[in-house]
Structure 1
Amino acid sequence: MPDFDYDLFVIGAGSGGVRAARISASHGARVAVAEEHRVGGTCVIRGCVPKKMLVYGSMFAEELGHAGNYGWTIEGARFDWPTLRDFVNRDVDRLEGLYGKTLESHGVEVFAERATIAGPNTVRLASGREITAAHILIAVGAWPMMPDFPGVEHCISSNEMFHLEEQPKRLMVVGGGYIALEFAGIFNALGSEVTVVNRSDRLLRSYDAQVVERALHIMMGRGITFHMNRLVQSVTRDEEAGCLLVDLGDADPIHADQVLIAAGRVPNTSGLGLENAGVELTERGAIKVDEQSRTTCPSIYAVGDVTDRVQLTPVAIREGHAFADSVFGGKPRTVDYANIPSAVFTQPPLAGVGLTEEQARQTYGSVKVYSSDFRPMKNIFSPHAERGLYKLIVDETSEKILGIHMIGPEAPEILQMAAIALTAGLTKQAFDDTVALHPSMAEELVLLK
Structure 2
Amino acid sequence: MTYDFDLFVIGAGSGGIATARRAAEYGAKVGIAEFDRLGGTCVNRGCVPKKLMVYASHFPELFSDAEGYGWSAVQSSLDWEKMITTVNNEVNRLNGIYQRMLDNSKVEVLEGYGKFVDAHTIVVGERQVTADKVLIAVGGQPTKPNILGIEHAITSDDMFHLKQQPQRIVILGGGYIGSEFACIMNGLGTEVTQITRSDMILRGFDDDLRNEIQQGMTNHGIKILNKVQLIAIEKDAEGIKLTVRKDEETEETIVVDAVSLAALGRKPNTQNLGLENTKVKLHDGAIVVDKYSCTEEENIYAVGDCTKTINLTPVAINEGRAFADTVFGGKSRTMSYENVPTAIFTTPEAATVGLTEAEAREKYGDAVKIYRSRFRPMYYTLAGKEEKTMMKLVVDQNTDKVLGAHMVGTNAAEIIQGIAIAIKMGATKANFDATVGIHPSSAEEFVTMR
The answer to whether the superposition gives a TM-score over 0.5 is yes
Deviations 1:211-256 (A, max 9, x none): 11011111111111111122221111112x2x10111135541011
Alignment match, 1:441: 442
C-alpha separation between the residues in 2 aligned to 1:325 and 1:252? Answer: 55
Give secondary structure in 2 for the equivalent of 1:271. Answer: coil
Q: Distance in 2 between matches of 1:252 and 1:412?
A: 37
Structure 1 partner of 2:297:
297
Question: 1:381 and 1:50, CA in 2 relative to 1: closer, same or farther beyond 3 A?
Answer: farther
Which residue of structure 2 lines up, in the alignment, with residue 24 of structure 1?
23
Equivalent residue for 1:322? 322
Q: Which amino acid in 1 is paired with 2:131?
A: A
Amino acid aligned to 2:281: E
Aligned twin of 1:265? 266
**Structure-to-structure mapping, 1:157-196, within 5 angstroms:** 157-196=155-194
Task: Pick which of 63-72 and 397-406 moved more.
Answer: 63-72
Question: Offset at 1:129?
Answer: 2.0
Q: CA deviation at 1:65?
A: 2.6
Q: RMSD between aligned alpha carbons?
A: 1.1
Unaligned 5+ residue runs, structure 1?
Answer: none
Return the offset for 1:81: 1.0
Shift of 1:381: 4.0
Which of 218, 230, 241 is residue 245 of structure 1 equivalent to? 241
The answer (yes or no) to whether the contact 2:200–2:214 under 8 Å persists in 1 is: no
**Partner of 1:309 in structure 2?**
309
How many equivalent residue pairs? 444
Letter aligned with residue 84 of structure 2? R
Q: Structure 1, residues 99-129: CA drift from partner, whole Å, max 9, x if none? A: 111111000000121111111001111x232
Q: 1:22 to 1:362 in 2, by over 3 A?
A: same
| Structure 2 counterpart of 1:349 | 349
Determine helix, strand or coil for the equivalent of 1:253: strand
C-alpha offsets along residues 346-380 of structure 1, whole Å, 9 cap, x if unaligned? Answer: 11101110011111111111111111111111122
Amino acid at match of 1:322: A
The structural deviation recorded for 1:199 is 1.6
Query: Which shows bigger deviation, 110-119 or 375-384?
Result: 375-384
2:68/2:384 contact within 8 Å kept: no
Deviation at 1:149, TM superposition (A): 1.0
Mean CA deviation greater in 73-82 or 110-119 = 73-82
The change in CA–CA distance for 1:131 and 1:428 in structure 2 (over 3 A counts) is: same
**Cα offsets for 1:390-415 (capped at 9, x unmatched):** 00111111111100001011011000
Tell me if 1:44 matches 2:43.
yes
Task: Give distance in 2, aligned partners of 1:251 and 1:446.
Answer: 49
The residue type paired with residue 135 of structure 1 is K
SS in 2 for 1:289: coil
CA distance in 2, matches of 1:308, 1:152: 26
Once the two structures are superposed, the pairs formed by residues 12-411 of structure 1 within 5 Å of their partners are 12-125=11-124, 127-239=125-237, 241=238, 243-249=239-245, 250-256=250-256, 257-282=258-283, 284-365=284-365, 366-382=367-383, 384-411=385-412
Paired AA for residue 323 in structure 1: F
Supply the distance in 2 between the matched residues of 1:187 and 1:399 (Cα, whole angstroms). 42
The normalised TM-score by structure 2 is 0.97
Give SS of 1:66's match: helix
TM superposition shift of 1:75: 4.6
CA distance in structure 2 between the partners assigned to 1:199 and 1:76 by the alignment: 39
Give the distance between the partners of 1:381 and 1:206, measured in 2 at CA.
36
Task: Tell me, yes or no, if the aligned pair for 2:7 and 2:28 is still in contact at 8 Å.
Answer: yes
Tell me the distance in 2 between the aligned counterparts of 1:175 and 1:438: 39
1:17 is matched by which residue type in structure 2? G
Amino acid at match of 2:144: M
The reply on whether 1:421 has 2:417 as its aligned counterpart is: no
**Counterpart of 1:219 in structure 2: which amino acid?**
M
1:262-319 CA-partner distances (Å, limit 9, x unpaired): 011100001111111121101x210000011011111110000100210000000000
The one-letter code sitting in structure 2 at the alignment partner of 1:290 is D
Q: Runs of at least 4 residues of structure 1 off by over 3 A?
A: 249-252, 381-384
- Report the identity percentage: 47
C-alpha separation between the residues in 1 aligned to 2:132 and 2:158? 37
Per-residue deviation at 1:62?
1.5
